């Protein structure tokens, strides 16, 4: 003879990686005679849509409390200190005509609980570190997209709070909310609702090999504007900016917005600059050369067709895009992204070939300096070996001093005399062509060159650097070349073995970023049953589904 199960105890918890919302767990000892399926959960008379059932700590996807086992029903509950909760669980036994209702009264602890009730909602962000590297001030970008009536002014309202994995202590961290927009319809229904979308950036601390929860709070129309102070400072206007943090100061040119010079702090106080030809910038590419037109680089824009700056306490973004001067066949986009408390500059560029182009050079991935600081060059091969050379030991321009694979993980200038280096890390390379075949690359590689200056560059098509430099190679329309690199000044290690340890450690972090998982509560407007999508042809997606 079986008896109805009952709630044995209730425990309260802060958000954890396994259950990243404020929640309570109701323990139920299930009679050996039958299984019970949880049909509905209520707290203080209000139905809760978000709950999970575990049997001996194993999650059950169909919400079944299994016979003879200790079941736990974990329920989303935004509890506060000393708040009271009447818990009701409707559970239906196999073959029963109606569910049994399990009831219990409980009181939350006098400490902990919801961060601040002035903010009505939150999105949970679970970060997981997989590389065994402690992450401090790791930049994280997430998309927040709640129903529009839940948020009024994202840039003013949003707050990000970290939850300590052991103690549950809450710590508000600097965040930056940007690019908010709202989609609306006069007839919201089960297919679509008015929605506000924005981006949120913050700096996370996650222990090596561990997980941590951050909560993105919103829904406080009376929230004051946040006033975060970090080590990131930006001055200037338009294309000419001075951007600085604890590690470096970077200056951009007033004419085209390219990087003009980099001043390394970090106890070295070295100036990395060029100033020998054209406008003297240190970052030129993307670039193209198709004689008899002039050789053009992105640094030659004066001004670029479009530009945008986005500044805040977490990051500074500068972006330039549009058609190249003299080359209407190519559209280019360039983004510099610099963060607080981080020693690197993220560089992202895209070249879109909108019409067939015959050229002798199509290049990217490049920095150029004079010889004032650096006299040696190093690289890490795709196989993992580290090579190095004295720059002037290689052939002088127009010959290449060194050639490397195009996907070389990192390259670096360095000086033992000045005890510093400047590295370029390749994080993402991709090419595609939207029509008429595959993207074309004529012997791609990275090369080092020196003359009055020294520079490295990645080439896609470079007949100009070959023994037959007059070949005009066709780059087909609808081709796209995309790069993401990180550039970083660094201090040299004390011994040959760890000379590039700062660069190696940063490359390991950037090439394997934190895993990100987000979760939101289920809004009451969500239909009770799954709503099939609107398809161009009839298709039954639930034919093989298990009984729920």
What pLDDT digit, counting tens, does each position of 93-108 carry?
987 778 899 999 999 9
pLDDT for 390: 98
Asked if the model's pLDDT at residue 4 lies above 80, the reply is no
Asked if the model's pLDDT at residue 193 lies above 60, the reply is yes
The class level of CATH for 121-224 reads: mainly beta
- 52 Cβ neighbours under 8 A, 6+ residues apart: 19, 59, 63, 73, 74
More confident position, 214 or 441: 214
CA-to-CA distance for 241 and 254, rounded, in angstroms? 8
Model pLDDT for residues 106-126, shown as the tens digit of each residue: 999 999 999 999 999 999 999
How many helices and strands in the chain, by DSSP H and E?
2, 40
Model pLDDT for residues 443-486, shown as the tens digit of each residue: 899 999 999 999 999 999 999 999 999 999 999 999 999 999 99
H/E segment holding residue 59: strand 58-60
**Nearest C-alpha neighbor of 516 from the set 231, 199, 218, 220:** 199
pLDDT for 542: 64
Distance of CA 125 to the CA centre of its chain: 12
Contact 510, 425 (CB under 8 A): yes
* DSSP of 148-197: GGG-S-HHHH-EEEEE-TTT--EEEE-EEEEEEEEE--SS--SS---EEE
Do the domains spanning 121-224 and 233-508 agree at the CATH topology level?
A: no
CA distances (Å), origin 241, targets 318, 352, 431: 9, 27, 31
Architecture of the 233-508 domain: Distorted Sandwich (2.70)
Model pLDDT for residues 14-41, shown as the tens digit of each residue: 999 999 999 999 999 888 889 999 999 9
- CATH 2.60.40 for domain 6-107, yes or no, is yes
In the chain, where the domains are located: 6-107, 121-224, 233-508
pLDDT bracket for residue 61 (50, 70, 90): very high
pLDDT for 535: 86
**Nearest C-alpha neighbor of 379 from the set 281, 445, 444, 467:** 445
Asked if the model's pLDDT at residue 200 lies above 60, the reply is yes
CA-to-CA distance for 83 and 162, rounded, in angstroms? 23
Residues 195-205, buried b or exposed e (16+ Cβ, 10 A)? bbebbbbbbbb
pLDDT for 277: 86
H/E segment holding residue 473: strand 473-475
Q: What is the pTM of this model?
A: 0.94
CA-to-CA distance for 511 and 425, rounded, in angstroms? 9
């Amino acid at each position: 003879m079986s008896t109805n199960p009952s709630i044995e105890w209730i425990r309260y918890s802060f958000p954890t990686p396994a259950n990243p919302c404020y929640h309570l767990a109701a323990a139920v000892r299930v009679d050996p005679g039958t299984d019970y399926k949880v049909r509905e959960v209520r707290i203080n008379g209000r139905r809760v849509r978000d709950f999970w059932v575990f049997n001996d700590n194993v999650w059950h996807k169909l919400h079944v409390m299994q016979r003879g086992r200790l079941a736990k029903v974990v329920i989303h509950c935004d509890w506060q200190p000393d708040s009271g909760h009447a818990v009701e669980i409707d559970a239906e036994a196999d073959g029963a005509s109606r569910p049994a209702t399990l009831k219990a009264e409980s009181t939350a602890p006098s400490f902990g609980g919801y961060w601040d009730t002035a903010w009505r909602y939150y999105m949970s962000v679970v970060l997981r570190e997989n590389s065994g590297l402690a992450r401090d001030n790791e930049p994280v970008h997430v998309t927040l997209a709640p129903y529009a009536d839940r948020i009024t002014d994202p840039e003013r309202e949003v707050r990000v709070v970290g939850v300590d994995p052991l103690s549950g202590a809450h710590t508000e961290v600097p965040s930056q909310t940007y690019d908010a927009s709202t989609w609306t319809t006069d007839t919201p229904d089960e297919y679509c609702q008015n929605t506000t979308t924005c981006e949120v950036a913050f700096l996370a601390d996650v222990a090596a090999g561990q997980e941590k929860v951050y909560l993105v709070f919103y829904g406080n129309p009376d929230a004051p504007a946040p006033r975060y102070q970090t080590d990131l400072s930006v001055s200037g206007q338009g294309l000419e900016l001075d951007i600085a943090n604890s590690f470096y100061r970077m200056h951009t040119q007033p004419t085209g917005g390219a990087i003009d010079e980099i001043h390394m702090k970090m106890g070295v106080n070295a100036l990395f600059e060029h100033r020998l030809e054209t406008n003297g910038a240190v970052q030129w590419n993307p670039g193209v050369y198709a004689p008899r037109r002039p050789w053009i680089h992105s640094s030659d824009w004066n001004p670029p067709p479009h530009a945008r700056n986005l500044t805040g306490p977490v990051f500074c973004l500068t972006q330039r895009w549009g058609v190249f001067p003299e080359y209407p066949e190519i559209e280019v986009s360039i983004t510099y992204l610099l963060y607080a408390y981080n020693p690197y500059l993220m560089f992202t560029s895209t070249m879109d070939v909108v019409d067939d182009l015959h050229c002798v050079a199509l290049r990217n991935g490049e920095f150029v300096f004079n010889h004032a600081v650096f006299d040696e060059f190093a690289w890490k091969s795709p196989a993992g070996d580290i090579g190095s050379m004295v720059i002037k030991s290689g052939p002088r321009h127009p010959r290449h001093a060194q050639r490397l694979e195009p996907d070389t993980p990192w390259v670096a200038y360095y000086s033992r005399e000045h005890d510093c280096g400047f590295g370029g890390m390749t994080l993402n390379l991709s090419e595609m062509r939207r029509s008429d075949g595959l993207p074309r690359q004529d012997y791609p590689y990275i090369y080092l060159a020196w003359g009055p200056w020294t520079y490295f560059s990645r080439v896609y098509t470079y007949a100009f650097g070959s023994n037959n430099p007059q070949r005009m190679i066709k780059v087909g329309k609808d081709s796209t070349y995309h790069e993401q690199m990180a550039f970083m000044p660094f201090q040299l290690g004390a011994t040959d073995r760890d000379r590039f340890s700062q660069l190696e450690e940063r490359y390991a972090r950037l090439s394997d970023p934190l895993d990100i998982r987000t979760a939101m509560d289920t809004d009451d407007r969500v239909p009770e049953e799954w709503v099939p999508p609107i398809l161009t042809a009839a298709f039954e997606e639930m034919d093989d589904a298990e009984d729920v």
